[in-house]
């Protein structure tokens, strides 16, 4: 038998057996990111202006990543200098992390532009020059910030330009519009890229609060034992938006709230809430547990769905006057597995609603018998809730009954709250796109959706897509059609809150 060369520190003290270094299995580990050329398709679009260019600028000047070169390409016919001015305006207007003059001067020299009309060879020339500048270890990351219908043309350009090898590709949602189109798109992408090269992005999962769900569930022995049908009554995932179309009618009209938000965002968040513990905090294990949730979901029943359309939508520019597109949707989701059998998940999202919020609310079952006298306040304010706020400033709240100070037995609903703004690391919070771009450069699929996962979601969605209930009008600035209350009865929606989040003094 060959001599065991494993360091003593990696040996179990009791049996002297060598085990893998746990650090090697941790997400991200100590793996270094190679220098990257990031080819940004749709570089002059709304997403690029608001999120991608500011995020890339911050990553480039931070210590989080090695050298980055950005090659933008789009339909607009502009020069590299004009693109740099375009990027500076976007970063100044939308960037969370502001750049100094010196930082901008450094980043601007890493920005290049090739109009798509110049053709594949022109793009390849600029990319190869950027690769040469970064050195022999440089990798390629293609970010397709384009509508789904334009993805095919981009894939063709990448093949014609010879830019597929040693590269990865990030694809924006929605990934298909139904099961057939998702399968067709997956097949088309797989003709060019292997599944290991593909990163289907959902920026909700890049938020600090979404990752906190994993930490909260699986790092705390207090909550994992009660995270099941025996103790949880129901779950709400509520993502109302106060904004309207924001000049996106051409995208939104054929898409609607279900395809835009539920399949691509809310179902992904649901998977984090409902998944079984992964064997390790690494991409393959987490992806498999998410896919198990999707496979366990029962088909969406149209009679358990409320579709709505805000009043005035049909008067918006680019919207058909007889449009049946939903700007609001609420639904009941059932997961047919051992942990969640019989427990409903209620999902709601919409445009032009009363507030813009992003919450997950876990409602615990109430005590089986109350010993408290009538008028004590018990049962007056609903069950105990654990609430996650998915806003950029992650917050968690646990509500419970407690005795009101003074004589007698009067109970009030109290809460314990946590916010990342209260920690010493508050300034380290990354924007969702910044985190996800870093993960894609690293090759980490943990927060991305697989081909199997997206096809499973379209499969359970098909009955609703085939027979959608009619849209119900709702006034702008409200919480949706009144039918949402019948959908969730005998429960009640957590939003609007009767309380406010505690703020840091």
What's the gap between Cα 32 and its chain centre? 24
What is the average per-residue pLDDT within 355-380? 78
Computed over its alpha carbons, how large is the radius of gyration of the chain?
25
Does 215 have pLDDT greater than 90?
Answer: no
The whole-number pLDDT of residue 465 equals 96
**Distance between CA atoms of 359 and 351, rounded to whole angstroms?**
16
pLDDT attached to residue 168: 96
Q: Given this model, what pLDDT does residue 407 score?
A: 82
Helix (H/G/I), strand (E/B), else coil: 153 = helix
- Is the pLDDT reported for residue 291 higher than 70? yes
Q: How far, in Å, CA of 396 to CA of 378, rounded? A: 23
Q: How confident is the model at residue 424 (pLDDT cuts 50, 70, 90)?
A: low
User: Residues at the annotated binding site?
Assistant: 173, 203, 207, 241, 260, 351
- Point out the annotated binding site for NADP(+): 173
More confident residue, 354 or 505: 354
Query: 128 or 378, which is more confident?
Result: 128
Lowest mean pLDDT among 158-167, 192-201, 404-413: 404-413
pLDDT band at 504 (very low <50, low <70, confident <90, very high): low
Instruction: Show the 3-state SS of 398-459.
Output: EEEEEECCCCCCCEEEEEEEEEHHHCCCHHHCCCHHHHHHHHHHHCCCCCCECHHHHHHHHH
Q: Which domains are present in the chain?
A: 36-172 (3.40.50.720), 205-488 (3.30.360.10)
What's the mean pLDDT in 228-250? Answer: 92
Least confident window among 231-235, 283-287, 392-396, 430-434: 392-396
Query: E strands of 99-160, at which residues?
Result: 111-113, 139-144
pLDDT in tens, 28-80: 344 678 999 999 999 999 899 999 999 999 999 888 888 999 999 999 999 99
Query: What's the rounded mean pLDDT across residues 463-470?
Result: 96
CB atoms within 10 A of CB 101: 7
Lowest mean pLDDT among 15-24, 434-443, 445-454: 15-24
Q: Assess contact for 310 and 351: CB atoms under 8 A.
A: yes
CA 280 to chain centroid, in Å, comes to: 21
CB-side exposure of 348: number of CA atoms within 13 Å?
30
* pLDDT, mean of residues 379-388: 78
Q: Which residues does residue 110 pair with via DSSP β-bridges, in sequence order?
A: none
With a cut of 80, say whether residue 3 has pLDDT above it.
no
Return the active site residues: 265
The residues pairing with 140 across neighbouring beta strands, listed in sequence order, are 37, 167
Query: Prior bond to 96 cis, omega within 30?
Result: no
Annotated binding-site positions for substrate: 203, 207, 241, 260, 351
The CA distance from 442 to 453, in Å, is 21
Q: Would strands 36-41 and 68-73 be described as parallel, antiparallel, or unpaired?
A: parallel
């Amino acid at each position: 038998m060959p001599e065991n060369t494993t360091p003593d520190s990696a040996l179990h003290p009791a049996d002297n057996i060598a085990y893998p270094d746990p650090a090697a299995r941790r997400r991200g580990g100590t793996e270094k990111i190679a220098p990257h050329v990031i080819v940004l398709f749709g570089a002059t679009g709304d997403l690029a202006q608001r999120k991608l260019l500011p995020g890339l600028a911050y990553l480039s000047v931070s210590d989080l990543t090695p050298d980055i070169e950005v090659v933008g390409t789009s339909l607009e016919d502009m020069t590299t200098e004009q693109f740099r001015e375009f990027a500076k305006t976007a970063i100044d207007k939308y960037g969370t992390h502001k750049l100094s003059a010196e930082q901008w001067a450094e980043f601007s020299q890493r920005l290049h532009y090739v109009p798509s009309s110049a053709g594949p060879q022109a793009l390849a020339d600029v990319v190869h020059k950027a690769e040469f500048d970064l050195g022999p270890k440089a990798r390629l990351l293609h970010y397709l910030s384009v509508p789904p219908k334009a993805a095919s043309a981009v894939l063709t350009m990448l093949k014609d330009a010879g830019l597929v090898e040693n590269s990865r590709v990030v694809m924006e949602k929605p990934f298909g519009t139904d099961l057939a189109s998702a399968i067709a798109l997956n097949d088309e992408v797989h003709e060019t890229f292997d599944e290991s090269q593909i990163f289907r992005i959902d920026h909700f999962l890049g938020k600090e609060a979404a990752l906190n769900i994993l930490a909260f569930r699986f790092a705390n022995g207090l909550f994992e034992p009660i995270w099941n049908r025996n103790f949880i009554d129901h779950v709400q995932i509520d993502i109302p938006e106060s904004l309207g179309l924001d000049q996106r009618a051409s995208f939104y009209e054929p898409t609607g709230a279900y395809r835009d938000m539920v399949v691509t965002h809310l179902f992904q968040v649901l998977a984090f809430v409902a998944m079984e513990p992964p064997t390790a905090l690494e991409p393959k294990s987490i992806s498999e547990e998410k896919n198990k949730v999707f496979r366990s979901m029962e088909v969406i029943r149209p009679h358990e769905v409320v579709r709505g359309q805000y009043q005035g939508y049909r008067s918006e520019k680019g919207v058909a006057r007889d449009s049946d597109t939903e700007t609001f949707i609420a639904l009941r989701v059932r997961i047919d597995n051992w942990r969640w059998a019989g427990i409903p998940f209620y999902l709601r999202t919409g445009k032009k609603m009363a507030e813009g919020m992003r919450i997950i609310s876990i409602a615990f079952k109430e005590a089986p018998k109350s010993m408290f006298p009538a008028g004590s306040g018990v049962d007056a304010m609903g069950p105990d809730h654990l609430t996650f706020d998915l806003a950029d400033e992650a917050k968690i709240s646990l509500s419970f009954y407690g005795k009101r100070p003074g004589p007698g037995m009067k109970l009030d609903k109290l809460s314990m709250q946590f916010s990342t703004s209260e920690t010493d690391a508050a300034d380290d919070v990354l924007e969702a796109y910044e985190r996800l771009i870093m993960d894609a450069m690293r090759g980490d699929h943990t927060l991305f959706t697989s081909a199997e996962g997206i096809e499973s979601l379209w499969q359970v969605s098909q009955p609703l897509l085939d027979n959608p209930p009619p849209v119900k009008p709702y006034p702008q600035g409200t919480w949706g059609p009144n039918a949402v209350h019948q959908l969730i009865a005998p429960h009640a929606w957590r939003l609007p809150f009767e309380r406010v989040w505690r703020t840091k003094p």
